[in-house]
Amino acid sequence: MVNSNENDLPEISVVIPMLDAEATLPRCLAALDRQENPPGRFERLVVDNGSSDASVAIARAHAGVTLLEEPRRGAYAARNRGLAASRGAILAFVDPDCEPGPRWLARIAEDFRDPEVRVVCGRRRVGRGAPMLESLMDYEVAKDERVLGGSDAAAFYGFTCNMAVRREVFDLLGAFADLRRGADTLLVQAVASRWGPKAVRFDPEMEVVNLELDGPVAYWKKVFLYGLHRRRNNAILASRPLSGAERLAVFRDVVRRERYSPARAAALLLSLAIGAACWRAGWIVGRLAPRPVPGAAAKGPGGTPPPPPGA
């Protein structure tokens, strides 16, 4: 912790893990420069995770950015490095291939005015106008609203491309678990277990544009990885996937709310079926990969495992 006058401490620390992100990092940082009504002071911590392109030079040249290094590979290792160096009461996480909306920080500050809230996840949008991809993201937003806005904590998950966490959460539960993927979900599950489902909030106005998603194929590739790592982490990840009936209910909500034509509804249903097949393929491939050891693998660098749901 850096010694500072309490009045000089930022309210929000934005942590951005980075690995060869020269193509998108400038847009991410520029979006933070354009924030409307940011809450008091905020700091930007960019953590390089071994980039070999111009990412480091871009971050170093950008005014107001604190550049850190984390030699151990892994996005969560980089986020934990940013967490250790941060000074804000709220930690906001975004990826370098995401462009925060103009009121991103303002919405985070507004959400945390509720003392019951410990974690907030926001809306993920796409920048390109491909109708099929936009439909898939409509589905994802509706799913996020249904799950994270509900009371069934067993279904909760997280995504650090657009997530904010109260510092006390890390003080009490420890840093992110040392996993390739899924440590954000472990954290959200631990928060819901300790403080209850209302400690987790989904804010559809806390938006980022995911610059990486440029078409349905990119979406399906990510779904494949979700299935793979969900299987690998199955021994320690207590969250349950949504059932087919629950996913169908989300689909119907999207079609009704967005007033899709029958043709667009059918296209979305087909795209979701392809996504389900990709997830299952990832799950099958994940069975062949070594899985983390329960307990030890769930520990963060501080050695504090998150409590199991219901504890």
What pLDDT does residue 299 have? Answer: 46
Q: What is the pLDDT of residues 90-140, one digit of tens each?
A: 999 999 999 999 999 999 999 999 999 999 999 999 877 678 999 999 999
Residue with the larger pLDDT of the pair 202 and 228: 202
Please give the mean pLDDT across all residues of the chain. Answer: 88
Look at 76-80, 225-229, 237-241 and tell me which has the smallest mean pLDDT. 237-241
State the pTM of this model.
0.88
What pLDDT does residue 40 have? Answer: 74
Residues 6+ apart with CB under 8 A from 95: 16, 17, 28, 75, 160, 161
Q: Residues, the chain, total?
A: 311
Tokens representing residue 173 in the block: 């539960």
What distance in Å separates the CA atoms of residue 231 and residue 92, rounded to the nearest whole number?
A: 28
Mean pLDDT across the stretch 14-26?
97
What pLDDT does residue 309 have? Answer: 29
First CA to last CA distance, the chain: 31
Confidence of residue 2 (pLDDT cuts 50, 70, 90): very low
Tokens representing residue 148 in the block: 């994270």
What distance in Å separates the CA atoms of residue 68 and residue 46, rounded to the nearest whole number?
A: 6
In the chain, what are the domains?
Answer: 10-287 (3.90.550.10)
What is the percentage of the chain residues whose pLDDT exceeds 70?
A: 87
Calculated CA dihedral for residues 130, 133, 138, 143, nearest 10 degrees: -170
Contact present, 278 and 222 (Cβ < 8 Å): no
